[in-house]
Amino acid sequence: SYKLTQPPSVSVSPGQTASITCAGDDLGDKFAAWYQQKPGQSPVVVIYQDYKRPSGIPERFSGSNSGNTATLTISGTQAMDEADYYCQAWDTNTVVFGGGTKLTV
Amino acid sequence: QLQLQESGPGLVKPSETLSLTCSVSGGSISDSSYYWGWIRQPPGKGLEWIGHIYYSGSAYYNPSLKSRVTISTDTSKNQFSLELTSVTAADTAVYYCARPMANVYDTWGHGTMISVAS
């Protein structure tokens, strides 16, 4: 079955740029999405269809997807961005989540 | 505004069947635009997709759970449900119902914790 691989953790200093990767076979041929989850809360989508931001998501969140890798980029990272981040893709009629990345600010 | 609310037993004994319901408000489960899905998260671990059902009744499941899972809809109550048979401690998790749109789950319930223990 299809698999998405993320680094377990990423650290970034406040104000710097954080990049979280998500790897999967020919992931660039699928739509990738990214979720932010804070402790005790339901996940919230921050990027969908590779690079689109839902209303209410700050512009500092951006996404890209090409080849075998999708990337979530957070520019000017703030303390409030500290959370777990999950990538997600659809493979035919099924859904796959990455293992998650803990972002420490 | 669409809202989803999970309900379930909280505690299930090993080998028994877990049954959960998701109540939908602010939208119709019969809407032809949408799937309705279930996702779970074991304590301290990542998200695992369980499956989803289309308004027409077509359901798709995680291959690793397919033999034990059934998702169904009840249009008269505007609800959809999850049944997971032969549960073990590994099925202990927060279970979320969620609605995908444009290849992403844009609306989630608050989640319900299910523990499997005797």
Confidence of residue A92 (pLDDT cuts 50, 70, 90): confident
- Please report, for residues A35, B1, B53, B81, the alpha-carbon distance to residue B59 in angstroms, rounded to integers and kept in the order given: 24, 25, 4, 12
Give the model confidence (pLDDT) of A9-58 as tens digits: 999 999 999 999 999 999 999 999 999 999 999 999 999 999 999 999 99
pLDDT of residue B55: 81
pLDDT of residue B101: 86
pLDDT in tens, chain B (118 residues): 999 999 999 999 999 999 999 999 999 898 777 899 999 999 999 999 999 998 888 999 999 999 999 999 999 999 999 999 999 999 999 999 999 988 899 999 999 999 999 9
- Please report, for residues A69, B43, B110, B118, the alpha-carbon distance to residue B51 in angstroms, rounded to integers and kept in the order given: 24, 20, 18, 27
Chain B, nearest residue to A47 by Cα? B104
Chain B, nearest residue to A96 by Cα? B49
Q: What's the token pair of residue A89? A: 């893709």
Q: Is the pLDDT of residue A80 over 90?
A: yes
Query: What percentage of chain B exceeds 90 in pLDDT?
Result: 85
Task: Please name the member of B39, B60, B111 whose beta carbon is closest to the beta carbon of A94.
Answer: B60
For residue A92, count CB atoms less than 10 angstroms from its CB and return exposed for 0-12, middle for 13-18, buried for 19 or more.
Answer: exposed
Q: How far does A84 lie from chain B, in Å, by closest CA?
A: 9
pLDDT of residue B30: 86
A31 has a chain B CB within 8 A of its CB: yes
DSSP string computed for B95-109: EEEEEEETTEEEEE-
Q: Indicate the average pLDDT of chain A.
A: 97
User: What's the residue count for chain B?
Assistant: 118
